[in-house]
Amino acid sequence: MKPTLTAMALALAATGATAQSQDPVTIEFAYPYSHLFDITYERILERFNADHPHITVEFRATYESYEDGTNTILREAVAGELPDVTMQGLNRQAILVERGIAKSLEPFIAGEEDFERDGYHQAMLDLGTFEGEVYGLPFSVSLPVGYYNMETMAQAGYDATNLPTTWDEVIAACEALQEAGVDNPVFWGWNITGNWFLQALMWSQDEPTMVGNDFRIDTPAGLTALETMHGIFRGCEMQNLEWDAALASFSAGDIGMLFWSTSAVGAVERNMGDFTLMTHEFPGLTEDGPMGLPAGGNSAMLVSDSEDPAELEAAWLWLTYITSGEGAADVARTTGYMPPNQAANEIILADFYEENPTKATAVRQIELLREWQAYPGDNGLAATQVIADYLEGIVIGDYDDMEVLQQEMAEEVQDLMPADG
């Protein structure tokens, strides 16, 4: 009879779950977005190797996106080729829990004498908690922000005191930049993973995109979200760029305003041309600003199918190492993500944000944090793509009547949702 995960974890606890075996052990680890996280994990791994020299962490090929990460794990589960630890988008954890691929971390937490749940921001920890049990420890959390090339903005009369605070003001800024000779004044991240910016416009009105199995684009808030996107795309004559091309173009100094995840601040700063970068709060539909914003980012999940207690111990050590203390602090130092661990934010990084103001914007917005919602059922990933296709249709000019688009999108996506009950 095969031992259960709980039994093995309790066995580890009985002998000291954090006690290090001196026998060499290798674990496999997979994560998304090489351009954002390679430098982060390289820095963490160097410290981890010094602290745990008997453990070898092998990095698998990176996932292209959160959707790719989930699809990859689903395939590997069928093939019996799972890594030990995987990083999954905060909105993609549920499907791995529902299918029994992700393992509950409760037995391991119970074996830790000094594990502090309160060390993690509760709203962030809640995102990885299902039916009262923790399955994912948050690693990096982001919120949408505005990026500004201040030399380009100055051409249209903007400085740090008068950056746009509403989407109408963004459109006005686009027009002023175009009059000043700027060909590409803005890129707005409609194509960021998981329909994140659509959800940002919904949460800006304090409205969820999903209620149970009901896709809420057919509401007045849904129409406002679509009309806001249409206004930005047309009013700013926004080019249809792939997300990586948009980031590269902004870093090169070719775009005046970029609305994107704070996650890319580190990558932009490492690659930017000779201009002054400033980040600022995400604009709202009114001067009062957004009422809420979706939490982006990813979580560490144990998906190992190993029965070796030493390998499970090593996987748990790595998982907790990257999500707490100095490991979590490295997220902020190398990217623009916020560490989910309060100790990292409040103690280790006490002076960091004052010295790095471009990375402080998301922290100022943390009270707006809301759930990055998943689409339920087996067709959740398909629904994500259908919505993205409709949004691209607005960008390229296929749709101008947002009420017609609203009805078509609502019907097609709702058909992909599970029937109630």
Among candidate residues 310, 334, 359, the one where a domain is terminated: 359
Structure tokens at 174: 């686009």
Query: Distance (Å, rounded) from C-alpha 378 to C-alpha 330?
Result: 35
Mean pLDDT value across residues 351-377: 91
The answer to whether residue 390 sits within a structural domain is yes
106 domain residue, yes or no = yes
d(CA 282, CA 266): 18
Q: Vertex 246, ends 245 and 252: CA angle to 5°?
A: 90
Asked if residue 70 and residue 57 are part of one domain, the reply reads yes
Same domain (yes/no): 387, 332 = no
State whether 185 and 279 are in the same domain. Answer: yes
pLDDT given at position 54 = 96
* Cα radius of gyration rounded to whole Å, the chain: 22
Is residue 368 assigned to a domain?
Answer: no
Instruction: Check: CB of residue 139 under 8 Å from CB of residue 347.
Output: no
- Please write the tens of the pLDDT for every residue from 118-175: 577 666 678 789 999 999 998 888 999 999 999 999 999 999 999 999 999 999 999 9
- Does residue 243 share a domain with residue 123? no
Higher pLDDT, 165 or 332: 165
pLDDT of the residue at 343: 72
Asked if residue 396 is part of any domain, the answer here is yes
- Are 257 and 336 members of one domain? no
Residue 267 has pLDDT above 80, yes or no: yes
- CATH number, position 154: 3.40.190.10
- End-to-end Cα distance, the chain: 36
Span 222-232, mean pLDDT? 98
Assess contact for 236 and 179: CB atoms under 8 A.
no
How many domains, the chain? Answer: 2
Find the domain containing 90 and state its range: 5-141+297-359
277 and 380 in one domain?
Answer: yes
Task: For residues 238 and 241, give the distance between their C-alpha atoms in angstroms, rounded to a whole number.
Answer: 9
- How high does pLDDT run on average in the chain? 91
Residue 13 has pLDDT above 50, yes or no: no
Are 88 and 301 contacting, i.e. CB atoms less than 8 angstroms apart?
yes
pLDDT of 3 higher than 80: no
Looking at the fold, whether 19 and 112 belong to one and the same domain comes out as yes
Between 252 and 329, the more confident residue is 252
Question: Which of 333, 359, 385 is at the close of a domain?
Answer: 359
Cβ atoms of 71 and 96 within 8 Å: the answer is: no
Q: What pLDDT score was predicted for residue 20?
A: 46
The verdict on 194 and 224 lying in the same domain is yes
pLDDT at residue 17 is higher than 70: no
The alpha carbon torsion through 12, 17, 18, 21 (nearest 10 deg) reads: -10
- Judging by beta carbons within 10 Å of its beta carbon (0-12, 13-18, 19+), is residue 248 exposed, middle or buried? middle
- Residues 123, 163 share a domain: no
Whether 366 is in a domain gets the answer no
**C-alpha atoms less than 13 angstroms from C-alpha of 95 in its C-beta half-sphere:** 24
Mean pLDDT of 286-314: 95
Q: Are 13 and 111 in contact, with CB atoms under 8 Å apart?
A: yes
Same-domain check for residues 120 and 183: no
- 119 and 15, same domain (yes or no): yes
What is the reported pTM?
0.86
